[in-house]
Amino acid sequence: MSSTQRGLRTLLGENAVKRIRTSKVLLVGAGGIGCELIKELVVAGFGEIHLVDLDTIDLSNLNRQFLFSQQHIKKPKALVARDVAKEFNPNVNIVAYQDNIMDAKFSVKWFESFDLVFNALDNAQARQHVNKMCVATNTPLFDCGTAGFLGQCQVIIPGKTECYDCREHPAPKSFAVCTIRSTPSLPIHSIVWAKSFLFSLLFGPPAAESQFDETETDDNREELEKLRKEQNELGDLRENLTSPDFMNKLVHKIFMEDIKRLLSMDAMWENRRAPVPLEVPEYSSKDGQTLASQDQRVWTTAESLSVLADSVERLVSRLEAEKEISFDKDDEDTLDFVAAASNLRSSIFGLGLKSKFAVKEIAGNIIPAIATTNAIVSGLGVIEAMKYLAGLDADLRSVNIWRSADRVFTSEKPAAPNPECLVSGVARTTMTAPADFTINQLIEDILKLKLGYSEVSILSDRLLADPDYDDNLEKTLQELSLHDKFVTVIDDDDERVNLEIYITEGPVNIEQVEIPLRPNQSEADSELLDPADSIPPISSKRTAQDAGLPGTTSSAPGQTFVDLTEQDDAIDLT
């Protein structure tokens, strides 16, 4: 027995140490926090640890993800973390998966097999998914997150405490479309334009909706009309990505014609510096790669055009295999495109130019990760998990690390679940049904006949049916890929809380369930902590957007689905 474990026995007693040794733990994420957590868990003597991470090791991870070194670059994080951590304590059984935790194979049944779950994730979508699976399976979750010097470990005991989604996360700040598209006044506006508008329209997946604030007013109606026309032209250009003339056409359109069109709106430039259409110097894509590697200095116009031309060639050649490409600050081809295009736009509008390195920081919206904060938060998470295993429920605390003169740590007793929460405040059941079971059968035979609903809406990750939408009624569970997934049933009479049904394949059968009435709003409020006393959770993603906190993917009636992967442009520069 190690000295750590002897210390734990003195502190928590023999029983707790035994529970630590026999418990089965899931750790999601093997990045900055995950590396720290697995070390803590292994050293503390947790017996069985399952580790999931979808990513491979990048050079930029090495400064803080201390389990990884140069020879591990490009290898799967989960597998390398398992091998290295095992050396600290060969008695621990570590099972590693290089996989997305949101994959259907990590089913409710699989989650149910764990005693504890730790989140060490960098995005809200995955955290919300794990939160939902833990609440559905009644599994305690310790959600760790850091953003620079700030950190947090939220303790989530389903049914007893708040969950990740019990508090609303403030919507990320977004830029007005006119600032980005017509009147940029800061380098960041050019960067957002290059990344979220130009790059996404040329190479990205089709956006469901505009990522900018497009609220129409009397003042901007004409402008918005022009911008839509411009956008359609860009869509046409995308059709010709492989034509040898593409780069010329692109440069001509976005840096000359579109700028002239903007200039024709005289009123816009009365009190602003008017943009100057680009005078295109000689350039060659051949120099692109060499220039792109010079990431600490500002490129000239000709150099930016060379990098742009070269990155377009690289991206276009990838499109054969990839169909569409998303911006990623660690993907050099996408970063080169954004760095070059944004600087060209900045020079047109007379804004400051930036090195590729600086663009990476802004476009990736990075708050530098601090290894010490990750280590502290991980330690706090494991302490709370040990308290839980020792049966010290009353002593459980969610802990925050602040950067203030008088207090670095604050801790709070986790608040009670919010009855209005779309994860904690719903009823849940499971059902089995065969592949050819239709949505109509689900509504008529199960929901109406067995559970007594009169009017319902059904959602999964999208709307499947409601009283006015019947396109899917004859579609089967198999066609809609609904096995091993949750569907949400909303009572359109507004009486009962939402019902989440987890569907697996088998003969038709539904587990009986009591569906409570919707809580009265005022009663619900009085049971909760005063939000002013509460500290909103921090994401572990080191972007200002996630530190400012994500939106919600919940399936409330009338609420639109927010694809969190598309919110990367929300940049808060505080």
Ligand X SMILES: Nc1ncnc2c1ncn2[C@@H]1O[C@H](COP(=O)(O)OP(=O)(O)OP(=O)(O)O)[C@@H](O)[C@H]1O
Closest CA to 44 of 14, 1, 73, 80: 1
Assess whether 178 carries a catalytic annotation: yes
Residue 232 is labelled as binding a ligand: no
Task: Kindly indicate which of the ranges 26-34, 212-220, 222-230, 551-559 contains the residues binding ligand X, using the contact rule CB under 6 A.
Answer: 26-34
Residue 29 is labelled as binding a ligand: yes
Residue 332 engages ligand X in binding (rule: CB under 6 A): no
Catalytic one of 35, 144, 153, 178: 178
For 212, residues 6+ apart whose C-beta sits below 8 A from its C-beta are 174, 175, 176, 177, 180, 181, 196, 569
Record the tokens describing residue 385, joined without a space: 């998990």
Please give the helix or strand (H or E) that residue 432 lies within, else none: strand 427-433
Residue of the chain from 36, 165, 333, 568 that contacts Zn ion (CB under 5 A): 165
Burial class (CB in 10 A: 0-12, 13-18, 19+), 214: middle
Residue 423 engages Zn ion in binding (rule: CB under 5 A): yes
Size of the site for ligand X (CB under 6 A): 24
Encode 301-336 in three state secondary structure: HHHHHHHHHHHHHHHHHHHHHHCCCCCCCCCHHHHH
CB-nearer residue toward ligand X: 34 or 151: 34
Q: Are 111 and 139 in contact (CB under 8 A)?
A: yes
Residue of the chain from 166, 250, 325, 503 that contacts Zn ion (CB under 5 A): 166
Residue of the chain from 26, 42, 52, 367 that contacts ligand X (CB under 6 A): 52
Residue of the chain from 77, 82, 181, 483 that contacts ligand X (CB under 6 A): 77
Q: What are phi and psi of 505, to 5 degrees?
A: -80, 140
DSSP category for residue 245: T
Q: Are 233 and 249 in contact (CB under 8 A)?
A: no
Quick note: the x/- pattern for Zn ion over 125-164, rule CB under 5 A, is --------------------------------------x-
Contact set for Zn ion, span 255-274 (CB under 5 A):
none
Residue 107 engages ligand X in binding (rule: CB under 6 A): no
Residue 548 is labelled as binding a ligand: no
Residue 424 engages Zn ion in binding (rule: CB under 5 A): yes
CB-nearer residue toward ligand X: 31 or 172: 31
For 526, residues 6+ apart whose C-beta sits below 8 A from its C-beta are none
Beta strand ranges found along 22-108 (DSSP E): 24-28, 48-52, 93-97
For 471, residues 6+ apart whose C-beta sits below 8 A from its C-beta are none
Residue 53 is labelled as binding a ligand: yes
Residue of the chain from 542, 550, 568, 571 that contacts ligand X (CB under 6 A): 542
Residue of the chain from 8, 37, 61, 396 that contacts ligand X (CB under 6 A): 61
Q: Which does 542 bind (CB under 5 to 8 A by kind): ligand X, Zn ion, none?
A: ligand X
Q: Are 143 and 151 in contact (CB under 8 A)?
A: no
Q: Are 68 and 21 in contact (CB under 8 A)?
A: no
Q: Which does 165 bind (CB under 5 to 8 A by kind): ligand X, Zn ion, none?
A: Zn ion
Binding residues for ligand X (CB under 6 A): 28-32, 34, 52-55, 60-61, 77, 100-102, 121-123, 126, 369, 540-542
Q: Return binding residues for Zn(2+).
A: 163, 166, 421
Binding residues for Zn ion (CB under 5 A): 163, 165-166, 421, 423-424
Which sequence positions are flagged as catalytic? 178
